[in-house]
Amino acid sequence: MRKVLLGGLVTLAEMLAQAPNFEKSFSVVTGVTILGSEHKIGHAKIFVECYDSSSPRKSIEPNTVTIDAATFDVIITFFVAQTGTCILAGQGGGPAGITSTSVVTVNANTTAEQNLTSLTIPAEALDSAGRFTQVWGAGVYSIGSQTPTLTFRVKLCTVSGCGSGTVITLAQWATTATTKSATNMPWKIVLWIGTVTTGASGTVEAHGVSIVTLGTVPGANSPVYNDTVSAPSPGINLTAQLFLQFTVATSTSSSSNAISQRHAAMHFVN
């Protein structure tokens, strides 16, 4: 069965990987409005089903169902006044994924931390207790005649670039010594972010790994580094737009050092 909604075409089968449903009860009304800020599904591909208050419950066929493509507000109208419950389910269970394939390269003639790729996170995308979000980052690096260590970080910030506002380091990984004359050696990060508490001072906890090739042959000598996180993050405003920032630093500086990020992505699992 399919229902055509203003926000998209969704099947019942596509709802199987969803987050817990959102329900709203109503009493003797000809219309129900559920704000996007209330259901927090985070996108417009929403399945809507309404039932009356009898036992067993019977399905109510709405007169109209509209979903605002920008605010995700859901407006349901009935032919006559009804009492019951409407249930919303979002395809994939969370906001739409965020990706970047724009290549960012920093020439590490410094030991200072440098910004790689940044992803913009819509307001309230992380503001759901128990939400899990997968983060992916990958790229390559080249080293001159030195053998520096590399330190990768993933940060969550209230200001783009993480130069001001609230800045939280979600996780970091430091390698052992690289190999001189390494060229285009791969690195990647896989990180899971779990929302612990919500709101203007919400908290998250992140865990993940970094895999970095330390030799001169891609894939060979590629140790896995674990994070050292042992507690939820400090508070950050999860109701506002946020920014996910990848960074890198080298232990020694050289104009021959270059680190590139080629992929970045966030996937909201529920």
CATH number at residue 121: 2.60.120
- The single residue listed with the structure tokens 């990647």 is 188
Q: Using alpha carbons, list the distances in angstroms from residue 224 to 32, 46, 136, 169.
A: 51, 39, 15, 20
Q: Give the helix, strand, coil percentages of the chain, each rounded to 5.
A: 5, 50, 45
Portion of the chain with pLDDT greater than 90, in percent: 74
Q: Tell me: do 231 and 145 sit in the same domain.
A: yes
Those residues whose C-beta lies under 8 Å from the C-beta of residue 160, and which sit 6 or more positions away, are 118, 120, 243
Q: Tell me: do 240 and 109 sit in the same domain.
A: yes
Output the pLDDT for position 116. 98
Q: Tell me: do 125 and 183 sit in the same domain.
A: yes
pLDDT of 40-71, one tens digit each?
887 787 889 899 999 988 889 899 999 998 88
Q: Tell me: do 106 and 31 sit in the same domain.
A: no
Q: Tell me: do 126 and 43 sit in the same domain.
A: no
Q: Tell me: do 43 and 108 sit in the same domain.
A: no
Q: Of 44, 67, 93, at which residue does a domain stop?
A: 93
Overall pTM > 0.75? no
Tokens of 223: 């140790």
Q: Tell me: do 41 and 12 sit in the same domain.
A: yes
Q: Of 93, 118, 137, at which residue does a domain stop?
A: 93
Phi, psi for 55 (deg, rounded to 5): -130, 115
pLDDT of 230-246, one tens digit each?
999 999 999 999 999 99
Q: Tell me: do 86 and 119 sit in the same domain.
A: no
* Enclosing domain of residue 24: 2-93
Q: How many domains does the chain have?
A: 2
Q: Tell me: do 82 and 184 sit in the same domain.
A: no
The rounded mean pLDDT for the chain is: 89
Q: Tell me: do 114 and 89 sit in the same domain.
A: no
Q: Tell me: do 112 and 73 sit in the same domain.
A: no
Q: Tell me: do 76 and 105 sit in the same domain.
A: no
Q: Of 59, 93, 127, at which residue does a domain stop?
A: 93
